[in-house]
Structure 1
């Protein structure tokens, strides 16, 4: 391989990195062209819009809507379509630092590394403090995924091998979660709906994004989801 081709290869590799080593392992493209109209946006009636209803119309309130309202959402959106953070856990760390250690203390986090990935350390910290949940997502919560790496060694191990993390921005009444994360070289929106786990698009709207480089249902966010990191 000549020098020119090698440089092109390196640039291509960097482009597809969403979570790098020491912060996280590689994260593949999201192939959706996201439409902001897919979900209920956070507007003046902030509290009323951040509600999740199940199929029995039971409502789950969002108790942190008053505590983490517009300023957090605006902070997240400020970095949309930018390279800020450099990878998925780097983006979370950036928001954490700008928001007075909302998610963790960096020094404390250092005690929870079980490998080189920072997203795994975040998950371990929240798991230890019993703040990992599989239900009742809220704006500002972390969202964790497993086995999103292209590396075969990652795909072949424990399914609770956390490789990617994002921050929830909104929750629609149909159960679709909108989150922001670093993928494909920039911070972008992703979507997940656990009520319809194997569906990518419903009614012309993306409800589950592809989170690894493949087009089958196993590569949707809903099937790589491992838990929410709860703020409270």
Structure 2
């Protein structure tokens, strides 16, 4: 009886082996594709997987649960830090990352997936009722459409979300077909104040080997 059980198990393993081999190959192919992704492509993929989460604490408690925490988490890699070695007095995380990007000559005009995207005056950071807050928000570019509409992932007030930005028509919420070109990034006291992503846009930056601080 023991021999019969072993024989059945062996035959079962042989019958299942094509499926098991196919699953193994699929897993290996996925791992290979991930390994072939660039630093920025990997960051865009990571950020896209977090869309819908109410908090970054579901992913990690080692970063701030805010927009700068999301980009730092998306680009987490040994020897890479989006922040400069020292922050300036009164400087927030977004402004510090932008300052480092500028020092590395990493700022760019045309976006690519994985690029950082910066915005200004998205909220009243110093609570003085004036629009003098500078850089206040950041996200990760997920994709760029042929018409120039940029989809980016960011940590907003309601959690991790996707939003759109179109620099060709920065003040237009929707096009003639009703498709969203620019999402709202600020709750404004006045309808005449800039609120759309295109209106509050401040620049893109590419994260690559220049940001690495150690092998």
What TM bracket, shorter-length normalisation? Answer: 0.5 to 0.7
Counterpart pick for 1:74 among 23, 45, 67: 45
State the TM-score, normalized to the length of structure 2: 0.66
Q: State the distance in 2 between where 1:80 and 1:172 align.
A: 19
| Structure 1 portions without partners, runs of 5+ | 1-64
- 5 Å matches for 1:56-75? 67-68=38-39, 71-75=42-46
Contact kept, 8 Å, 1:147 with 1:154, in 2: the verdict is no
Counting matched residue pairs gives 161
What is the aligned partner in structure 1 of residue 151 from structure 2? 178
Matched, 1:211 2:177: no
Contact kept, 8 Å, 2:44 with 2:74, in 1: the verdict is no
Q: State the distance in 1 between where 2:139 and 2:199 align.
A: 15
- 5 Å matches for 1:126-205? 126-133=101-108, 135-151=109-125, 152-153=127-128, 155-157=130-132, 161-202=134-175, 203-205=177-179
- The C-alpha deviation readout for 1:184-218, integer Å capped at 9, x for no partner, is 23110011001011100112211101110035572
Q: State the distance in 1 between where 2:105 and 2:204 align.
A: 11
Q: Kindly indicate whether structure 1 or structure 2 has the higher relative contact order, using CA contacts under 8 Å at least 6 residues apart.
A: 1
What is the aligned partner in structure 2 of residue 227 from structure 1? 203
Distance 1:109 1:68, change over 3 A: closer
State the TM-score, normalized to the length of structure 1: 0.62
- The C-alpha deviation readout for 1:109-167, integer Å capped at 9, x for no partner, is 2324352411110011111222122x210000000001111344374327xx1100000
Distance 1:124 1:193, change over 3 A: same
Distance 1:116 1:175, change over 3 A: same
- 5 Å matches for 1:18-167? 67-68=38-39, 71-82=42-53, 83-84=55-56, 86-97=65-76, 99-100=77-78, 104-105=80-81, 109-133=84-108, 135-151=109-125, 152-153=127-128, 155-157=130-132, 161-167=134-140
Q: State the distance in 1 between where 2:84 and 2:129 align.
A: 22
Please report how far the alpha carbon of residue 66 of structure 1 lies from its aligned counterpart in structure 2 after TM superposition: 5.7
Q: State the distance in 1 between where 2:171 and 2:88 align.
A: 32
Q: State the distance in 2 between where 1:212 and 1:178 align.
A: 17
Aligned structure 1 segments of 4 or more residues deviating by more than 6 angstroms: none
Contact kept, 8 Å, 1:199 with 1:217, in 2: the verdict is no
